[in-house]
Amino acid sequence: MFSNAALTTSVILIITGTATFFGRLLSIERIPDMVATTLTSMTDNRILLLLLINVFLILVGTFMDVIASIIILTPILLPVALEIGVDPIHFGIILVVNLAIALITPPIGGSLFVGIGISRLSVWEISKAIVPMFLLMILALFIVTYLPQINVFLP
């Protein structure tokens, strides 16, 4: 029983360590600054810019650990979001929902590998099984992103 827990934990820690290294490498090379400049130069349209931020966060979150993603990307993307009129709380919720989706997105989704370790199924079998939940999470992401009143209605 403990050997199974150790195996599952070791897989997650290897993925987390690699993602943290990748995050530090991105910071050293100033990739986040270039991304922010690129995003703001692509369009002034708020809806399109939020869509680009969502796609970017899911892609980055697929390959990086959640904590590393939050630490690296928040200081870069928050000014972009504020510039187009997004509330900081709303942006934080968008960030977390995107990274939650990335956790179940192949090829490196951390929660995906936890599910594989526990269920002893293949990546393909798990990926097929989570498609309905993935689609619902994407729908929730669009609702959270484009209906900010849902997120910030409490005083």
List pLDDT tens digits, range 89-123. Answer: 999 999 999 999 998 887 777 788 788 888 888 88
Residue 30, sorted as left (phi over 0), alpha (psi -120 to 50) or beta, turns out to be left
Check residue 145 and give its pLDDT: 95
Could you give the number of structural domains in the chain?
1
CB under 8 Å to 97, separation ≥6 — which residues?
Answer: 137, 140, 141, 144
Task: Using pLDDT thresholds of 50, 70 and 90, give the confidence band for residue 155.
Answer: low
- The string over 57-76, giving b where at least 16 C-beta atoms fall within 10 Å of a residue's C-beta and e elsewhere, is bbebbbbbbbebbbebbbeb
Task: Name which residue leads in pLDDT, 4 or 54.
Answer: 54
- The string over 95-134, giving b where at least 16 C-beta atoms fall within 10 Å of a residue's C-beta and e elsewhere, is bebbbbbbbbbeebbbbbbbbbbeeeeeeeebbeebeeee
Q: What is the mean pLDDT of the chain?
A: 85
Residue 155 is assigned to a structural domain of this protein: no
What's the mean pLDDT in 1-29?
Answer: 78
Residue 139 is assigned to a structural domain of this protein: yes
What's the mean pLDDT in 36-51?
Answer: 86
What's the mean pLDDT in 22-36?
Answer: 78
Is the pLDDT assigned to residue 131 strictly greater than 80? yes
Residue 52 is assigned to a structural domain of this protein: yes
Task: Using pLDDT thresholds of 50, 70 and 90, give the confidence band for residue 14.
Answer: confident
List the domain range (segments joined by +) for residue 138. Answer: 2-150
